[in-house]
Amino acid sequence: MGSSLSGTAGSFLGRKPSLVFALFPYIIGWILVAFPFDLATFFAGRFLMGFGADLRTSIVQVYLGEIAHPSLRGMLASLPMTMMCLGTVISTGIASCLHWKTVALVFVFVPLFNLFLLFFVPESPAWLASKGRIEEAREVLESLHRDDVDEEMKGLQASLKGEGNTGKPKLRELLRWNYMKPVTITAAVTVLRQFTGVYVILFFTVDIFTTVGSSISPNLATIIVSLVQLLFQLTSGFLFDRVGRKKLSIFSSFCMAVSMAVCGGFYYFHAADSQAEVLSSSPMGWLPLACLSTFMLGFFSGISALGSLMISELLPAPVRDQAAGFLLCLNNVSMFLVVETFIYLQRLLALHGTFWLYSTASLVLGCFCIFYLPETKGVSLHEIQRIMTETRLASETDETENENA
């Protein structure tokens, strides 16, 4: 629900006011969770937190892409996932020591601190330029210590001019031919990213640790997995800006595909054995845990931040807000479907068949990146927008000229 409103909020209110507004559902939600009158109040608090999270997620991704210098965009665009991993580590650690109501009270102060920090954050220069506030946009770019302010201002104004920009940010604008290519590529990566089964692995961490015979306690297992996520995620932003988006995404996808395929093979050859027999008799009992760790290495070193990066870079300025909200909604729906179907797939295909299905999705994602993912390392947003839309625009121009002739 929050994701469906984020595009409208970001477009009409601005990036900064929208981010400020989205913090209040967080604050109210944590208070309701800490002091619930009944079960309904508790669920209302959880709903408000989810609404606030979805409302601000796509706006943050768009904002980071609009203020980041091309040389730092990969690192900055990966920050949302990095902060999410850090939050998971902190919240899991606190929850293992404190009562859940105390945890809720502690986290009331997180959005309050965020609210304080937002007073020092400038508005997006791209949004200011889209509203005709050119001088304010220039001042923001100068405050960010850009050396090429004039060139960036020309790029901002050029990206907002023409290209079918009607000035009406509606969802149906995404269906315009000159926007279909970047939106379709980003949507395909968003869906395939979820179909790799990564959130099945994350949501069923404790069950998987039990399956592979780990004696680690559930809380400690979750903390360890969260730390591994954070470690690999910290490297992704650096690697995106050094190695490039395309190469890292391809490596990440194939790493995930191989690890899932091997893990599925292990369970296939031990399908007739009980869990106890596998762990006591197989000399390769360590393999599933190693495969799942490799899978997480692949995901969090590249693919995890790819969705945020593509939203920041590929989406054309006239439809960036609406497209980002739509893609976040698509991401959440895909995640829900994959997680909810895991149990049914396990019954239908067994564990090895389910893992092979996820491996196939990772393989398809890697092939898609080879053929369709553009390399955007060090390229300005204006130049990316021109590259992503010029083919269709050129063909339309030729058709128009032929008709006039």
pLDDT tens by residue, 46-82: 999 988 888 888 888 888 888 887 777 878 878 888 8
**Mean pLDDT for all residues in the chain:** 81
What pLDDT does 20 receive? 93
For 164, 167, 179, 273, the CA distances from 393, given in Å and listed in that order, are 10, 19, 10, 60
Residue 73 token pair:
């965009």
| 266 occurs within a structural domain | yes
Q: What is the mean pLDDT of residues 375-387?
A: 82
In a domain, 156, yes or no: no
Q: What is the pLDDT of residue 273?
A: 54
| Structural domain includes residue 301 | yes
Quote the tokens at residue 335: 């995640």
Which structure tokens are listed for 331?
A: 């991401």
In a domain, 31, yes or no: yes
Residue 23's pLDDT band (cuts 50, 70, 90): very high
303: nearest Cα among 363, 347, 350: 363
In a domain, 167, yes or no: yes
Residue whose token pair is 């791209």 = 126
- Report the percentage of the chain scoring pLDDT > 70: 82
- What is the model's pTM? 0.79
Per the CB < 8 A criterion, the answer to whether 28 and 83 are in contact is: no
Domain carrying residue 176: 2-121+162-387
Burial class (CB in 10 A: 0-12, 13-18, 19+), 113: exposed
In the predicted model, what is the mean pLDDT of residues 11-37? Answer: 91
- With a CB cutoff of 8 Å and minimum separation 6, the contacts of 64 are 73, 76, 77, 79, 80, 308, 312
- Number of folded domains that form the chain: 1
The mean pLDDT value for 76-98 works out to 81
Q: What is the pLDDT of residues 201-216, one digit of tens each?
A: 888 766 766 655 555 5
Residue 405's pLDDT band (boundaries 50, 70, 90)? Answer: very low
Mean pLDDT of 291-304: 86
Please check whether residue 155 lies inside any domain of the structure: no
Q: What is the pLDDT of residue 109?
A: 92
Burial class (CB in 10 A: 0-12, 13-18, 19+), 331: buried
DSSP for 277-331 reads HHHHH-TTTTHHHHHHHHHHHHIIIIIHHHHHHHHHHTS-GGGHHHHHHHHHHHH
CA distance 207 to 214: 10
Chain segment 350-378, per-residue pLDDT in tens = 888 999 999 999 999 999 999 999 888 88
pLDDT value, residue 293: 81
* pLDDT band, very low/low/confident/very high, at 28 (cuts 50, 70, 90): very high
Residue 239 located in a structural domain: yes
Residue 17: predicted pLDDT = 92
Q: What values do phi and psi take at 372, rounded to 5?
A: -125, -20
- CATH number of the domain within which 44 lies: 1.20.1250.20
Q: Tokens for 117? A: 């920090």
Q: Is residue 113 part of a domain?
A: yes
* pLDDT, greater one: 394 or 119: 119
